[in-house]
Structure 1
């Protein structure tokens, strides 16, 4: 794995994000540079497929990733990650249960790929690695919990209303089609309900 140049902008941004949660030493930047792969990704690029038994952790520096169900028929987004979030190829670092479908780039950008083995060999003795993994896990769990809360209603329109309230950052960065695929509703419902909410917002101003 080719070391990442320390002056690389997406890599520097990642280190600044990491430093919010612990005090980094010089060796942390060196560890990340030599054990992570900075991947430029294009929209629709497949980073993982369930047919491949790979254990990788993907950190979004720029762009957007999604875990999508590739079963025949209508595509469904199972999980999503925007900047400073992550997706993994198993349910957690110690799991042998691989993610269904594929992990794909919804937007072009930069992603850090970290093989599990590098995290696992360092995790027990390094609080900063522990903090990093914990932060990404907590972010992903919170997003999935909020998506589930949005989908509690049987009403497609209510699902979208709750989604717009609970996950405004995801709403702002996704297309209507992606929102429909995440919530399990039609794009037409997203479009109509979005217009209703926009009209209601303007009326209250």
Structure 2
């Protein structure tokens, strides 16, 4: 169950929602939070918006208007690992900004039945449910939380209205799109590698930040390779690094450079 915190009043409202339901105010099951949950709600709202504004301020000057707009229209979600934000076949036009945690877009391969990850969103990235802000074409698959975290939900209808008179939303959406495009370009480049072994070695070089925070199972789903391939490549990288370190240490002890040793 996801905690959704509406920001239309000074008093946070806790909403419970089935993970398989699309985000919609009409589907909220509202109740008055207890003092304990009220404190937790305020913590998530405060931390989520603080991280969101810290990111936004890097690209555009903000003032009190922007803070009030966010409090009036955006939603802060506290998600658990494995929680589905948007199920397959959803029609919600929305973007999810990752304050903390990791989100993924995942699809089931009809030929193999395997789950494939088509894109990831690390902190300070976002996943769009549509092709772009003004598109009504929903991207295939589901959006799922790979790690527990705090997510900011930005409905596209709100962004489009805000965009009409405020340039800062253009900047925000452009940054979201550019980050996702760069990732997709790198993934397409990796998937063109015929050898799955070489694909993983290239992944290590091109996407070290994703490798550092994902499991081998998640990497296999992202790169469309087996875990056995990842383990072989990881062993190869580890033994090669150890061999290079050993050579460097031996050469240093002999008072010669590695280049002289090789020659």
TM-score range, shorter chain: over 0.9
Matching of residues 68-147 of structure 1 within 5 Å: 68-71=106-109, 73-147=113-187
Higher relative contact order (CA 8 A, sep 6+): 1
Is the 1:71–1:101 contact (alpha carbons within 8 Å) kept by the matching residues of 2?
Answer: no
Based on CA coordinates, which of the two structures has the bigger radius of gyration?
2
Structure 2 counterpart of 1:202: 242
Aligned residues: 205
Structure 1 counterpart of 2:102: 64
User: Could you list the runs of 4 or more consecutive aligned residues of structure 1 that deviate by over 4 angstroms after TM superposition?
Assistant: 4-7
Is the 1:70–1:102 contact (alpha carbons within 8 Å) kept by the matching residues of 2?
Answer: no
Q: CA deviation at 1:163?
A: 0.6
Structure 1 counterpart of 2:56: 18
Q: What is the root-mean-square deviation in Å for CA atoms of aligned residues?
A: 1.6
Structure 1: tracts of 5 or more residues without a match: none
Structure 2: tracts of 5 or more residues without a match: 13-41, 246-263
Q: Please list the CA deviations of residues 26-60 of structure 1 after superposition, one character each: whole Å capped at 9, or x if unmatched.
A: 11111112211100000110000232211111000
* SS of equivalent residue, structure 1 residue 20: coil
Structure 1 counterpart of 2:205: 165
| TM-score under structure 1 length normalisation | 0.95
Q: CA deviation at 1:138?
A: 0.4
CA distance in 2, matches of 1:42, 1:193: 31
| TM-score under structure 2 length normalisation | 0.74
Is the 2:89–2:140 contact (alpha carbons within 8 Å) kept by the matching residues of 1?
Answer: no
